[in-house]
């Protein structure tokens, strides 16, 4: 998305010129200097392996045990991120507080008395688990981010054209201290609020455990601008600057934003990243996956539609207020493009999307793989954990025994999301160990969910042979992964992907397998039960719902938001 053009149509967006001048759309506005927080990103800075990641988010409003519910939900989402965890709360005095740090949820919040202190008087909270691949693993890289007393934000996804956004903000004098897309969203929102209200945005430091900061009083503060184009929505809805920022930034995201007045949850216009709405008792909550709501003692009501928001908080309506992101409420501006890798790899098997359990989809992938690519073998072995349902399906369809031939150490993270080949190989060695009694002298079908760089597969084939396997036939429940993901998955550059430019036969030789076969794309799509047009399949086809610079791919409509540029950009662009 080129810098320097106007905002999203229909959003009441501030023009590039006005933002660059530091004023409101009307003449005479003041400069709105943004702070320089030290915080986190869910997408680490680009490095030699093109790091990307999936994270998990949760939010709840109006529950007397909001923090306890959030901790339970984050534990259920731990598979989505093991590097850091954090929780922001709205305490009994109306102040936002946050605690976050490196490590698993139990480590960050396991110290005696920590949860009690954080949760005292809190009836609203948001939480985040981060899947880091590069950069500083310390507390400064954890979420949620706290933006003064205005709001706290947690984010799962990857913005398109994020570096262009950062360059624009830096040209405006905004000293960004993180590499986080999450910070970009928050700073754009603050900028919108400052320009609309003509109030300066205070500089705030986002540090490991942020000091208590008073909430903005009613009628003042950056997020308490008057109702209308720049302030809050009618009937006690979410602050308009937050909606404008979300509407303006293209890419894959699911976000939860906690304010003193309510909790805003939103999903990108393509629905690339998941977000579900449910209830825990009488309280409303949102989460990345249904398993988190259920673990916290709740039930799922619905999946948030792509391009929509819900507001949980102060208002006269008995349930959540909801709506479409500004400018995205016209048919055809974007199509649903749910990440197919949520079914294949990311999500927990007991979660559901579009009414279909992830477990059922993975088992069906295995059945189809056995029918399309059978192998003369004695036993089927799945790679723990995400491939075990598929291995069970393969064995069922092939009439072969399914056995535990690999034992997983459950205290290590996932491996294809690692910064270097040596680190990934070492991680595999620590995580998985073969069972010789299952493998010795047998022809093995090894079922895995994906083959990205080949590091894991190469080590596994070697380990199975060393444990006595006579033959190893590798079967993958996805098509060849030929194109990098730009929307939240660490897969590296195209030249680092084993399938890019190599035939299955060449790939089999590279990993040392006796044979290698992939499930065709049409079979994957049919197993999900969704139309192909509702899925993002870019990692297999190279065709993305929007390009990495933020241009929307759609047919038959003018006024594409992706062509409008960055609200707040400098002059020119094209």
Query: Is residue 55 annotated as part of the catalytic site, yes or no?
Result: yes
Residue 485 annotated in ligand binding:
yes
To the question of whether residue 386 is assigned a binding role by annotation, the answer is yes
Residues 432 and 477 in one domain: yes
Alpha carbon distance 192, 566 (integer Å): 12
Confidence of residue 137 (pLDDT cuts 50, 70, 90): low
For 456-469, how does the pLDDT look when each residue is reduced to its tens digit (9 = 90+)? 899 999 999 999 99
289 vs 16, which has greater pLDDT?
A: 289
* Domain extent at residue 204: 56-337
Asked if residue 278 and residue 364 are part of one domain, the reply reads: no
The answer to whether 210 is a known ligand-binding residue is no
Q: Are residues 330 and 438 in the same domain?
A: no
Q: Is residue 110 part of a domain?
A: yes
pLDDT at 425: 64
Residues 90 and 204 both lie in one domain: yes
Residue 435 within any structural domain of the chain: yes
Of the candidates 288, 300, 210, the one whose C-alpha atom is nearest the C-alpha of residue 253 is 288
Residue 18 within any structural domain of the chain: no
The number of distinct structural domains making up the chain is 2
Catalytic residue among 55, 69, 210, 352: 55
Residue 491: per-residue pLDDT: 67
Q: Do 277 and 379 sit in the same domain of this protein?
A: no
Gap between the Cα atoms of 223 and 150, Å rounded? 6
d(CA 92, CA 247): 31
Residue 134 pLDDT more than 70? Answer: no
CATH code assigned at 427 = 3.40.50.2020
In a domain, 365, yes or no: yes
Q: Percentage of the chain surpassing pLDDT 70?
A: 73
Lowest model confidence (mean pLDDT) among 82-96, 171-185, 396-410, 493-507: 171-185
Torsion of CA 560, 563, 566, 571, to 10 degrees: -140
> Does 385 fall in a domain?
yes
3-state SS record for 133-173 = CCCCCCHHHCCCEEECCCEEEEEEEEECCHHHHHHHHHHCC
Mean of pLDDT values over 174-186: 83
Exposure letters 49-74 (e unless 16+ CB within 10 A, then b)? bbbbbbbbbbbbbbbebbbbbbbbbb
490 is in an annotated binding site: no
302 shares its domain with 333: yes
543 belongs to a structural domain = no
Task: Please report which confidence band the pLDDT of residue 412 belongs to, taking 50, 70 and 90 as the band edges.
Answer: low
Alpha helices in 297-412 (DSSP H): 341, 358-372, 388-398
261 and 387 in one domain?
Answer: no
Question: Domain of 85: which CATH number?
Answer: 3.60.20.10
- pLDDT single digits (tens) 390-408: 999 999 999 999 999 999 9
């Amino acid at each position: 998305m080129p810098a320097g053009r106007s905002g999203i149509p229909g959003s009441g967006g501030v023009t590039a010129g006005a933002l660059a001048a530091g004023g409101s759309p009307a003449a005479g506005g003041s400069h709105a200097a943004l702070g320089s927080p030290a915080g986190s990103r869910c997408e680490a800075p680009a490095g030699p392996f093109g790091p990307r990641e999936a994270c998990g988010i949760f939010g709840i409003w109006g529950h007397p045990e909001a923090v306890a519910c959030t901790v339970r939900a984050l534990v259920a989402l731990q598979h989505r991120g093991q590097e850091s965890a954090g929780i922001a709360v709205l305490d009994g005095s109306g102040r936002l507080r946050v605690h976050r740090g490196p490590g698993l949820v139990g480590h960050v919040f396991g110290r005696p008395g920590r949860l009690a202190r954080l949760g005292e008087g809190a009836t609203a909270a948001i939480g985040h688990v981060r899947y880091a691949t590069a950069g500083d693993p310390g507390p400064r890289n954890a979420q949620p981010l706290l933006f003064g007393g205005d709001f706290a934000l947690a984010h799962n996804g990857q913005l398109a054209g994020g570096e262009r956004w950062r360059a624009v903000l830096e040209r405006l004098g905004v000293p960004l201290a993180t590499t986080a897309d999450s910070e970009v969203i928050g700073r754009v929102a603050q900028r919108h609020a400052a320009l609309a209200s003509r109030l300066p945005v205070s500089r705030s430091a986002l540090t490991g455990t942020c000091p208590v900061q008073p909430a903005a009083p009613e009628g003042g503060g950056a997020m308490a601008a008057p109702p209308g184009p720049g302030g809050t929505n009618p009937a006690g809805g979410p602050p308009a600057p937050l909606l404008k920022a979300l509407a303006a930034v293209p890419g894959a995201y699911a976000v939860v934003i906690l304010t003193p007045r309510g909790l805003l949850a939103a999903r990108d216009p393509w629905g690339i990243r998941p977000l579900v709405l449910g209830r825990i008792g009488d309280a409303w909550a949102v989460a990345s996956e249904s398993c988190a709501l259920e673990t916290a003692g709740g039930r799922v009501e619905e999946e948030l539609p792509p391009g929509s928001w819900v507001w949980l908080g102060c208002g006269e309506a008995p349930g959540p207020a909801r709506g479409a992101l500004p400018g995205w409420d016209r048919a055809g501006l974007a199509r649903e493009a749910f990440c197919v890798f949520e079914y294949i790899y990311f999500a927990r098997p007991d979660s559901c999307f579009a009414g279909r359990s992830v477990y059922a989809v993975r088992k069906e992938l295995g059945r189809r793989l056995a029918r399309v690519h059978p192998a003369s073998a004695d036993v089927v072995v799945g790679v723990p954990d995400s491939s075990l349902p598929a291995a069970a399906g393969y064995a069922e369809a092939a009439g072969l025994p399914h056995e535990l031939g690999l034992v997983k150490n459950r205290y290590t993270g996932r491996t294809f999301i690692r910064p270097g080949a040596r680190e990934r190989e070492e991680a595999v060695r620590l995580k998985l160990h073969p069972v010789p009694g299952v493998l010795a002298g047998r022809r093995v079908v090894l079922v895995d969910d994906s083959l990205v760089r080949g590091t894991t597969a190469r080590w596994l084939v070697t380990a199975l042979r060393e444990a006595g396997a006579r033959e190893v036939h590798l079967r993958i429940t996805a098509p060849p992964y030929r194109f990098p993901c730009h929307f939240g998955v660490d897969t590296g550059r195209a030249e680092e992907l084993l399938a890019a430019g190599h035939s299955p036969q060449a790939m089999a030789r590279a990993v040392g397998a006796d044979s290698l076969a992939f499930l065709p794309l049409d079979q994957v799509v049919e197993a999900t039960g969704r139309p192909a047009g509702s899925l993002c399949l870019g990692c297999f086809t190279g065709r993305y719902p929007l390009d990495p610079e933020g241009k929307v791919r759609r047919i038959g409509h003018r006024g594409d938001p992706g062509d409008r540029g960055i609200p707040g950009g400098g002059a020119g662009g094209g």
